[in-house]
Structure 1
Amino acid sequence: MVFFCFLVDQRRRVRSSKPAAGICSRCGACASVADMVTCTRFCYVTVHRKAWRAIICTFCGALLKSYNR
């Protein structure tokens, strides 16, 4: 018998952030510009890594806008 383990997950991590002008449209708190990294892993081994920039809310953590670097 052969068993295959298809354990795939994706994690987002904030590398750095700085304050941005503007407020969150959902809760009204301050926004910040963050450099994000998304890691897609298969069986705990990183298969794909993508760096991107996003505007996020500092209070509720909502992703307001994302764009490539």
Structure 2
Amino acid sequence: MVCFCFLVDQKRMVRRCKPVAGSCSRCGRGASVAEMRTSTRFCYIPFYWKSWKAIICSFCGAVLKSYR
């Protein structure tokens, strides 16, 4: 019997952010618009990147709305 085990993970990074008017619906703190980057890695080697914008909470880090 042959068993294959591959390590695939996804990492989100905030590239830039600036505050916006409004508050988080979960914790009530301030929100900010951010340029996000998602990188998917296969055995620690990145092979796919995706950039997108999102409104995130500056305190708890929750993604409130995403623009893909």
**Normalised by the size of structure 2, how large is the TM-score?**
0.91
Structure 1 residue ranges, 4+ long, deviating more than 6 angstroms after superposition? none
Q: Distance in 2 between matches of 1:7 and 1:27?
A: 34
Give the RMSD, CA atoms, in angstroms. Answer: 1.5
> How far did 1:21 drift?
1.1
Q: Distance in 2 between matches of 1:59 and 1:42?
A: 31
Q: Hey, what does 1:32 align to over in structure 2?
A: 32
Q: Distance in 2 between matches of 1:24 and 1:35?
A: 18
Give the unaligned 5+ runs of structure 1.
Answer: none
SS for the counterpart of 1:28 is: coil
Q: Hey, what does 1:45 align to over in structure 2?
A: 45
> How far did 1:4 drift?
4.1
Specify the code of the residue in structure 2 equivalent to 1:9. D
> How far did 1:47 drift?
1.2
Q: Contact 1:53–1:66 at 8 Å: present in 2 too?
A: yes
Describe the superposition over 1:14-58 as per-residue Cα deviations: whole angstroms up to 9, x where unpaired.
000000111000111000000000000001111110000000001
> How far did 1:64 drift?
0.2
Q: Distance in 2 between matches of 1:66 and 1:35?
A: 10
> How far did 1:3 drift?
6.7
Identity score, percent: 67
